[in-house]
Amino acid sequence: MDNIFDLNSISVDFDLMERANPVFNTAKMTLFQLSASGNEYAAAIAEKLGLTYDNAQNSKSTKVSPEIAVLSNIILETRYKTMAALAEKSGCPTEVDMPCGYTPRAIEFSKKGIRFVGIDLPAAISEAEPVITSLIDEDKKELVRFAGADATNYESVEKALEGIDGEICITTEGLMMYFTDSEIGVLCDNIARLLSKHGGCWITADPEVSMQFVLTAQPLFGERFMEIMMKSKAVADDKSDFNVGGQTLVIDVRSDARSAMKKAMMFLAAHGLKAERMPISENMPEIATLSKIEPQKAQAIKAAMSKCAYWKITLIDSSVEIDTSMVKSAAFDAKAVCENGELMIQMFGRVDSMNAPKLLSFWEKTSSGEKINAVSIDCTGLEYISSAGLRVILIMHKACTEGVTISGANNAIKEILSQTGFDSIITIV
């Protein structure tokens, strides 16, 4: 039978993008929260994008309560402003925001004469870049660059930095909590390679994000804080099919913090990296959202921020040049035939956030045309699959009476399937 998969003919829309990678919607949520905190540039971007509270705060299955919105706004503004302050303090001439989302950071850094590279999924960049660029001063536009890339794909990120000289400061916020340990490991390897080539540092808010949420929620909600935290986690879980906060590099507040932090540091060391904790309270600018709550609670939240930190990560040995010759990955492609109610797919290269929506688009078009009872996926030629790709496979599995069968997976992919629990859901032969 003829191959029915043609990657070049497949189109995707924002609905497909969000269903393949639900965290995509949180980028607009972040922008709306910044706008609500009084950031004039965020408000201008939100207006140009036509965002409202409902389409920015909520997903299709979860509604954000006003209480969670207040908590999230405080966390978001604190993180956004403090991370920017730390990036500026690093002294690096280029700030690499990954993912950059829809925030106005490009505008703010360009005004200070700092080069800015915004990296995110192509769909987000295509929508955000023209709006944000239109708000940048004409004489500063040359300082700003946007690029569509996947954080787990080294080649796509390095291409975004092509021609950039001098040290870089990479910032990540709210990224790792939606990644599996396998994806975080790839992210660490990629950042180590980037720092080896360019120099500089990686600043991230993610390792202690859960601690910050708890320490903010306690004085804000008093005895009700645990109830609110559970609701907040449900919102985060709605964006992921995986255990949000269950990763090695994201400190679980339910565990012993000291031992969890030691384990996280060991995880980084295994990837050639070391971390320095930067206390939030020592680097936190004025936070507008705190002025909108009771002064006593605001003061307690500020005091609590002395107990948690953002992490500045650098190479353990900056003199060691990391070999990147083995990181090349074949682009994604596939072949597929459908016969007697079974869809048979051969996958090649890597499935990640950049191409998973196309796989989903193919599935939905194919399954709408005829009844598919089973899907068999030959992974012999597949090098890597991210959580976005797994999410599409899960969608296929749930839609078929006989489910999905995976064969030919290499050891790395088998490990990913095991880490995410897919090996107990899907038949692997």
Q: Which domains does the chain have, with CATH numbers?
A: 17-315 (3.40.50.150), 329-428 (3.30.750.24)
The whole-number pLDDT of residue 213 equals: 87
CB count in 10 Å sphere of residue 73: 20
**Cα–Cα distance list, 332 to 153, 327, 381 (Å):** 12, 15, 10
Encode burial over 268-300: b for 16+ CB neighbours within 10 A, e otherwise. beebbbebeebebeebbeebebbeeeeeebbee
Nearest CA to 148 out of 163, 159, 162 is that of 159
pLDDT average, residue stretch 54-70: 63
- Report pLDDT digits (tens) over 2-37: 899 999 899 887 778 777 876 666 788 888 889 988
Q: Are 283 and 82 within 8 A, CB to CB?
A: yes
Q: What are phi and psi of 356, to 5 degrees?
A: -55, -40
Q: Is the pLDDT score of 221 beyond 60?
A: yes
- What separation, in Å, do the N-terminal and C-terminal C-alpha atoms of the chain show? 24
Q: Are 356 and 349 within 8 A, CB to CB?
A: no
The whole-number pLDDT of residue 26 equals: 75
- Report pLDDT digits (tens) over 170-179: 999 988 887 8
Pairing label, strands 144-148, 115-120: parallel
Q: Are 327 and 350 within 8 A, CB to CB?
A: no
- Report pLDDT digits (tens) over 236-284: 555 444 444 468 999 887 778 889 999 999 999 999 999 999 999 999 9
Q: Is the pLDDT score of 129 beyond 60?
A: yes
Q: Are 293 and 78 within 8 A, CB to CB?
A: no
Give the Cα-Cα-Cα angle 408, 410, 416 (nearest 5 degrees). 115
Q: With bands split at pLDDT 50, 70 and 90, how would you rate the model's confidence at 233?
A: low
